[in-house]
Amino acid sequence: MSRLTLPQLSAFLKLADTSSFREAATQLGVSQPALSRTIQHIETRIGARLFDRDTRTVMLTPAGERLRPLAERLLDDYETVFRELHEFVEGREGVIRIAVLPSVASALLPGAIGNFQARYPKVRFEIWEDVGEPVHHVVRERSVDLGIAPPPQIAGDLRYQELIKDSLVFVSRADDPLAEAREHKWSVFADRRFISTSYETGLRKMVESGLTQAGVMVEALYNCKQPTTVASLIVAGQGISVLTRLTMEQIASPLVAWRPLVDPTVSRSIGIVRHNGRSLSPTAQLFVRELVQQARVWRMRDAVSRPEALAS
């Protein structure tokens, strides 16, 4: 049996709905003879009569009755498919897969996703959290649409767009006398127990760079992989530490205080990592704009919430 075209199915359904060649032809914008030829062609292709017709009535035959719901379903599916495609192209639906540092996930993603889904409720997000190199790896493997991490050491097939600068900060218990200062130099660590992060993290290299530049020697204790573990040890009175400003958003504990570290100020760039050979979906492109806006909002909020700003 030959397949019918969508215009043929539309003509069949219009005649079935109106039971009139004249009315159906008028609504379709064709002549009655043209519509009659179309119906005859359909019946020839199917091999069955679809309408019983005389000079006054047009009625569906059993074969026509069977075809009618099938034709309606086909046309509905066709409209649905292209409506969904249109919504995808417009960025109104789809799935965005993101690989991201946990600290960034806590600081930037909730606001960005909340704002985005308020406008595009059909869009879904899949979030994969890890440290920098694994984030670069899954972007390179095209397992995700985009990553949010420090820039890759070797760009290669990856493209980088900076969002914010994430600086290292001094961290102590909130009731520690050191928390009363507006900022600290790295020498603050010379005489206190220093809780360190693991060599598995990019943070450890940044901290060692700051200590080396300041000429400060410390005995690294614990070597924690998770910032939340560092914070728990600080709250337990086991020492002081260095984390990043974004990480403090992840911890968000009133029992822990942070202050800027100066002489030197050490920071890392955090931004969007994309694959040069992978085109972003329209939805993901719109979300990148939202991330840029959210980063701008976060920088403004951070500027007024810093201890030195509050004290002035």
pLDDT confidence bin for 311, thresholds 50/70/90: low
> Is residue 192, in this structure, part of any structural domain at all?
yes
Contact 204, 195 (CB under 8 A): no
Q: What is the pLDDT of residue 309?
A: 55
CA-closest candidate to residue 14, choices 2, 25, 1: 25
Which two three-digit tokens encode residue 180?
Answer: 């009363």
**The predicted structure's pLDDT at residue 4:** 83
Residue 224: pLDDT band (50, 70, 90) is: very high
pLDDT of 127-164, one tens digit each?
Answer: 999 877 889 999 999 999 999 999 998 878 999 999 99
Last residue of a domain, one of 249, 267, 285: 267
Cα separation, 40 vs 51, in Å, equals 10
Do residues 249 and 287 share a domain?
no
Q: Is the pLDDT of residue 196 over 60?
A: yes
pLDDT of residue 282: 85
Least confident of 13-22, 91-100, 273-282: 91-100
Neighbours of 56 (CB within 10 A): 5
Burial class for 64, CB neighbours closer than 10 Å (0-12, 13-18, 19+): buried
What is the DSSP pairing of strand 194-197 with strand 184-185? unpaired
Residue 170 has pLDDT above 80, yes or no: yes
User: Which residues are bridge partners to 167 per DSSP?
Assistant: 267
Which CATH number covers residue 15?
1.10.10.10
Domain boundary among 31, 63, 89: 89
Which residues span the domain enclosing 33?
A: 6-89
Higher pLDDT, 215 or 93: 215
Nearest-angstrom CA–CA distance, 277 and 294: 26
> What's this model's pTM, rounded to 2 decimal places?
0.71
